[in-house]
Structure 1
């Protein structure tokens, strides 16, 4: 964060002010791109703030908000389960929880006064100093929320601050005072001036410049392309975004515009986005790389240009989740409308049927409609009630409509009133991406095999599904299959016509296919299986040895997992980085660390029922960064992390390990640990002594015994000295 240090100090002081016991609402106001959310996040994560409140929640409101979804988001943040799935029950559950402790709630991006007035009743005022932070573009929203406290109206950055932020993006991880070559200083000054102190404009322009050679000629061309007169605020930002957009290659332009299909402020799963790009045919062919790898490169390129944000990363460092600033999303929508890239169908009253019936390539249906009166036979993508939208929609509006879209490549249908697979899908032979969430669906029919071009098949249901036709596995182009986690569905019978291009197979039930078909799926990278038992031991071990490209393997709801044979099967693999084993491992202790895959980065063991301390093996894995022990992973009383153990570990979570009484961390163990989480370890007596030597940044304690918590009470607890150096402690 650049430029808001003084404003941050003021807000922090208002939050922790012990003289004000009332529940207060603090507002941060400013135009889009001015840094409201950035400032709010910095305040929210401040050490003094973290130690002043007991309950925290951050929810995004946006323009098209749903009170139901907002309350649902708060519930998940504060770990409360309501008695029923209604707004009233959600409100009661939240209010009851918040009455019991001092809370800080952030409502990010509030557009309408009604949003606050509808939420007001769930934030009780019990005179304990609780606070609510609102970020908004509108002063009237701030004044409605709290007429007595002046809102924090953000200013534009001054010249020095603007230069610092710009250079941070152009020359990352360098000293901003010395990083810019002397022959480029004048051009840098001119470019900074063009941004008018607007942080988003500086960030996007800096990202754009960072992709160019550090030469006078290259920078002069950028300056010359921005010769227009200075325009105030948002218009200037849009002009700079347009400059960055126009500089993109043709395929990156398509990738960027696709973000407009997703709802405002949504966090987007990177793999879903890349598979959509793949289905649309956006991704170029590059020698030595899969199209999925090219897709990740495209996402990273857009992130480097600061046109999108990577919000989370996978165990291997690749992008896991991303999002787009709402100002940039507005650019996507504006550009898409001009190019007929996509249309957002809101309701029957506002649709321009003349425009809609022409050549727009994608249709996003946002609101409940009676019938989809739409005749564009050139449609390539249809998003209907999917995760890109606000709510599930009734399927009736689509009845006898789907068949007219013969050229569809992407179809996302999330509805709540369908029990049969829509037969019209059969005629959509160009489909490459099919995502369905039908709450009452019982069967995937045999004609699914008509979709010969299908690459991605995502199926979600609410526990009703009983049968998936084996003909699914005859589709030779299948790459990614995600199935619902339900034991009702019979294991697949793949036969001889197996999809040899398959890279992802998620949540398939265990069965004879493990021995017959699995060893032939040699392109598999990600595999998760439900319900593995000792009966599958030999077949699974034999098959896994032939899957040389496997990077992630998971077993869920396992019975007795044949650990010895599975680990032996992995010992010759060089790609496996993520391993998740849920179920009894049918052994007293883990095998020697030399037998484990040495390149493991992430490991989850749940309900393993190990009798001997697993740390002796796991601490010697050289690349391990994320470790979670859950359920009865270990049934002993003591775990010891010995000196120099876990050299790369960044995150450790120990959840519901009921018998654990003591965790010992010897000197120089876990020397890189940043995050530690204990959940429901009822017999754990105290925080480890050795934690005082660990460079921890985040400590999360959830459902821990009262005595355990009392020992770490700030300044007065007898174990406080062990964790007083930790900046973020959440209890």
Structure 2
């Protein structure tokens, strides 16, 4: 009887397995077809996007929107299929019987996928037929330059192009440019470039320069030509020929160019090329602007820094800034109350409203001009102005729409992949300094970055950022010693435009618990942004790809609002939880598409074993609190690229010599242990490494492992005692190492000879090293060193000498907490490039070096230094003032 029952069960189970296999085979084939179709749709959308952005054909716009939504649905179906497939794979042998207990449920899922694929197939057919039916069958077949044709009717309405212009805030820039134009000592034909985002006042500034009496007296021929986005060389040459009165026998490019060049050779000319968008414009035109040593000039205005640099690499472009509060007030009132005294024009009862409106413009001249023009038409009553303040959403305010359309020119011109990258800026708070590293990893996790042979995704992401900055859509800030940027920002109006465009395309939604925008209306956005604290998240969207929580980080109870909902977002790729939590959310284990995970720990002791279920995870970041244990399963995730523990970490990676993390590039915050011997040497693609709690016991293991990490670019070693002999000997194989941070006592009294250090080092930080002999003879010979910090306790000697020709590229030097230092000598020609010097808490250093008078410093900071030193450097009266009087920025501070 028992055998019969077992036989019956086995037979039924076998039938279910066979049925499932047949079903799986069929669905897999359909999903593979859908994947191919999705790739075709995505390629088509890239082409069609250009025409959709024209805004001149509502049929095209709606059609592209339908195709985009269909592509989203196809992507969802494919990811859902992969979700169930990966869940099956994770169950393993032990889950075999259990899995087949739920075969009917899985068959239902597969049937639904089958139905969805068929529906998509039908919808694609309908869309294809509608192209011909509604006369839009040429979509996507035009060149990419068509993406800009809708902008031409916008440009003429720019206030800056009016003859009666108001220029505010650029007096210094104007003076500098005018001096460059009329400089009779410069006989070369030179190109002057003015660079800035749309609406920043480039054309206004150049108009003022162009009409300046000194400029008018200095040139014989003048020409002003608007290039803009759509252009042909023939049209540009034709306009120039008309401006300079050059005649040609035939209207061909060659004849026009020859006629213009011959005309300009005869006299001193000034030509303005306004609104240049393409790098090749100058390459195509420069031959018509002859250089005959008569001081002729060309002025270029552009949104793109690379255009300016190509035009004349020898001349520094003029990068325009935003207006400050005073300048903004002046420009705004000039438009609201024309031909009135600025000091008295605004009624007292409107001053507060005016300030609120001005603050909204964030110093952008175009926004101030457009908004000022709008307010000039309003009644000068409190009610009228208050209504505008309360309804201050640019996309809905008359006049603001005009501003956004002009700002959107740069966005519409972006390549397809860069548009997705740019829209991600809507995920950040207003006015936020955005960490470039984080943004880059989000892009990578989303799959936005194109592939380029020989380049990592991180390098490609940085290229994208540079291009966005060159187009003046963002600003790169927080420049580091090597010129690279650490943060970036986006202007508020551009962010508004970004969010508006993103919402229209279901790219993202900003959640507000006091409205029904998300919960009741769309519920289909690909990303959800949460800025406010809330008790309950009333939002359900199984198609979500990114969840970003930026608030409530000081209240661990706030995470309860997400309990029970995370598992519903099963297609998530990016999960950024900027809030504290006391335990690792168990729901995360079901998010098997996750590529980026960041959270803050509050007494979170361990990361559980199921972390290994996240087979696609690329970035794992935990900050805050104390972390004692991370399950070994984390280190089995082959896709891992970055592991960062920004916290008090007692975590030792496992002693797993067989682990092959070939993609791991960043490992930060781990404690030293036996894993250094067994596992570290296998991480051959590691770029950044930060190890804590190092002791002499780890000397040999570090020596062996570091020698095998030939791609290491950044190394941080912290510990009570650092086995410097072993570590530095291992540097002989470090040909990529540029940043080195040693925090702890070195088991040597002096640094080794220079040739032991990696010669390509750019940044070096030494703290608590307790060196007894002067480190400068070794460090000054490092040819690429740009940043040097001698931290507290790094040097215990009394004298330092920087010899002639030492530190040939050093830009930044900090000397801190060298308690015994009494004398510092800087020989002539030492540190020829030094720009910033910080002297902090060196209590026995009472006289600054004589040699500082030969160093081209731009900034000198002295903090918590002896009072005697301060008196010696008093401006004009101090006996050492002559040593630093050439330094433009000097500050002397004490700790609070």
Relative to the length of structure 2, the TM-score reads: 0.58
| Greater Cα shift, 489-498 or 624-633 | 489-498
Gap change, CA 1:210 and 1:562, over 3 Å in 2: farther
Contact 2:839-2:862 at 8 Å conserved across structures: yes
Q: Which has the higher contact order (CA 8 A, sep 6+)?
A: 1
The residue matched to 2:281 in structure 1 has which SS? coil
CA drift at 1:516: 0.6
Distance 1:259 1:208 in 2: 25
1:434-477 deviation per Cα after TM superposition (whole angstroms, max 9, x unaligned): 00112221111111000000000110022x32211121111000
Name the structure 1 match of 2:663.
501
CA drift at 1:255 = 0.7
Aligned to 1:247: 413
SS at match of 1:167: strand
Matched residues in 2 for 1:190 and 1:456: separation? 39
How many Å separate the matches in 1 of 2:431 and 2:167?
Answer: 21
Partner of 2:547: 382
Q: Bigger radius of gyration, 1 or 2?
A: 2
1:291 & 1:680 partners in 2: Cα distance?
42
What secondary structure sits across from 1:285 in the alignment? coil
Q: How far 1:343 sits from its partner (Å)? A: 0.9
Deviation at 1:559, TM superposition (A): 2.0
How do 1:612-627 and structure 2 match up within 5 A?
612-627=773-788
**SS state of the match for residue 486, structure 1?**
strand
Match of 1:187 among 201, 226, 241: 226
Q: Deviations over 1:64-96 (max 9, x none)?
A: xxxxxxxxxxxxxxxxxxxxxxxxxxxxxxxxx
Question: 1:526 matched to which residue of 2?
Answer: 688
Structure 1 position 434 matched with structure 2 position 597: yes
Give the match for residue 169 of structure 1.
195
**Matched residue, 1:535:** 697
Tell me the secondary structure at the aligned position of residue 772 of structure 2. coil
> Matches of 1:184 and 1:216 in 2, distance apart?
17
Q: 1:483 aligns with which of 636, 645, 670?
A: 645
Q: 3-state SS of the aligned residue for 1:441?
A: coil
Alignment-derived partner of residue 335 in structure 2: none
Map 1:388-407; keep pairs closer than 5 Å: 394-407=558-571
- Cα 1:315–1:392 change in 2 (3 A) is farther
- Secondary structure of 1:686's counterpart equals coil
Which of 697, 708, 731 aligns to 1:546? It is: 708
Partners of 2:650 and 2:670 within 8 A in 1: no
Contact 2:556/2:582 (<8 A) preserved: no
- Report the alpha carbon displacement of residue 369 of structure 1 after superposing the two structures with TM: 1.3
Question: Partners of 1:206 and 1:591 in 2: how far apart?
Answer: 58
Query: Which residue is 1:59 aligned to?
Result: none
Aligned residue in 2 for 1:675 = 836
Report the alpha carbon displacement of residue 321 of structure 1 after superposing the two structures with TM. 1.6
Once residues 209 and 157 of structure 1 are traced to their aligned partners in structure 2, the CA distance between those partners, rounded to angstroms, is 23
Q: CA deviation at 1:318?
A: 3.5
- Counterpart pick for 2:466 among 300, 310, 314: 300
Matches within 5 A, 1:293-692: 293-314=459-480, 316-349=482-515, 351-357=517-523, 359-385=524-550, 394-416=558-580, 418-462=581-625, 464-556=626-718, 558-692=719-853
- TM-score between the two structures when normalised by the length of structure 1: 0.70
User: What 5-or-longer segments of structure 2 have no aligned partner?
Assistant: 1-165, 179-191, 216-220, 231-272, 287-299, 304-368, 372-399
Which of 246, 265, 277 is 1:209 aligned to?
277
Q: Shift in Å at residue 237 of structure 1? A: 4.1
* Pair 1:628–1:217, CA change in 2 (3 A): closer
C-alpha distance in 2 between matches for 1:240 and 1:390: 40
Q: State the SS of the aligned residue for 2:648.
A: coil
Q: Contact 1:675 / 1:698 at 8 angstroms: preserved in 2?
A: yes
**Counterpart Cα distance in 2 of 1:207 and 1:537:** 60
Conservation of the 8 A alpha-carbon contact between 1:367 and 1:393: no
Please state whether the residue corresponding to 2:592 is helix, strand or coil.
Answer: coil
Measure the CA separation in 2 of the matches of 1:314 and 1:597.
21
- In 2, Cα distance between the equivalents of 1:498 and 1:265? 42
CA, structure 1 residues 664+596, in 2 after alignment: closer, same or farther (shift >3 Å)?
A: same
Distance in 2 separating the partners of 1:183 and 1:390: 62
How far apart, CA to CA, are the structure 1 residues paired with 2:827 and 2:228? Answer: 53
Alpha-carbon distance change, 215 to 591 in structure 1, aligned in 2, over 3 angstroms:
closer
The whole-number CA distance in structure 2 between the counterparts of 1:362 and 1:212 is 37
Residues 503-536 of structure 1, C-alpha deviations (whole Å, 9 max, x = no match):
0111111111111111110100111110111111
Contact 1:207–1:306 (8 Å) recurs in 2:
no
Distance 1:206 1:306 in 2: 16
Q: Matches of 2:480 and 2:681 in 1, distance apart? A: 26
Q: Greater share of helix residues, 1 or 2? A: 2
Q: CA deviation at 1:614?
A: 0.1
8 Å contact kept, 2:853–2:884: yes
Per-residue CA distance 1:566-615 (angstroms, 9 max, x = gap): 12211232211111100111101111101110000100011111111000
Q: Rate the CA distance shift 1:444–1:360 in 2: closer, same or farther, 3 A.
A: same
CA–CA distance in structure 2, aligned partners of residues 333 and 460 of structure 1: 29
Measured in 2, the distance between the counterparts of 1:350 and 1:711 equals 66
Q: Secondary structure at the match of 1:447?
A: helix
State how far apart, in whole Å, the 2-side matches of 1:627 and 1:332 are: 40
* SS across alignment from 1:477: coil
- The answer for the alignment partner of 2:152 in structure 1 is none
- Deviations 1:270-297 (Å, cap 9, x if unpaired)? 1111001000110011111111111111
Supply the distance in 2 between the matched residues of 1:633 and 1:436 (Cα, whole angstroms): 35
Which range moved further: 708-717 or 396-405? 708-717
Other structure's SS at 1:354 match: helix
Q: Is the 8 A contact 2:229 2:276 kept in 1?
A: no
In the TM superposition, what is the alpha-carbon distance from 1:311 to its structure 2 partner? 0.8
Once the two structures are superposed, the pairs formed by residues 122-161 of structure 1 within 5 Å of their partners are 155=168
Question: What is the Cα deviation at residue 430 of structure 1?
Answer: 0.2
**Residue 723 of structure 1 is aligned with which of 884, 889, 893?**
884
SS where residue 583 of structure 1 aligns?
strand
Distance of aligned partners of 1:633 and 1:208 in 2 relative to their CA distance in 1, 3 Å threshold = farther
* 1:673–1:696 Cα contact (<8 Å) kept: yes
Shift of 1:268: 1.4
Q: Is the CA contact 1:170–1:210 (under 8 Å) kept in the aligned structure 2? A: no
Correspondence for 1:705: 866
Q: Distance in 2 between matches of 1:489 and 1:410?
A: 24
In 2 relative to 1, CA 161–350 (structure 1 residues): closer, same or farther, beyond 3 Å?
farther
Structure 1 residue runs without a partner (length 5+): 1-152, 192-204, 223-230
Moved more, 273-282 or 721-730: 721-730
Matches within 5 A, 1:231-246: 232=370, 235-246=401-412
Q: Which of 450, 465, 468 is the matching residue for 1:284?
A: 450
1:215 to partner: Cα distance: 7.0
Distance in 1, matches of 2:223 and 2:687, equals 46
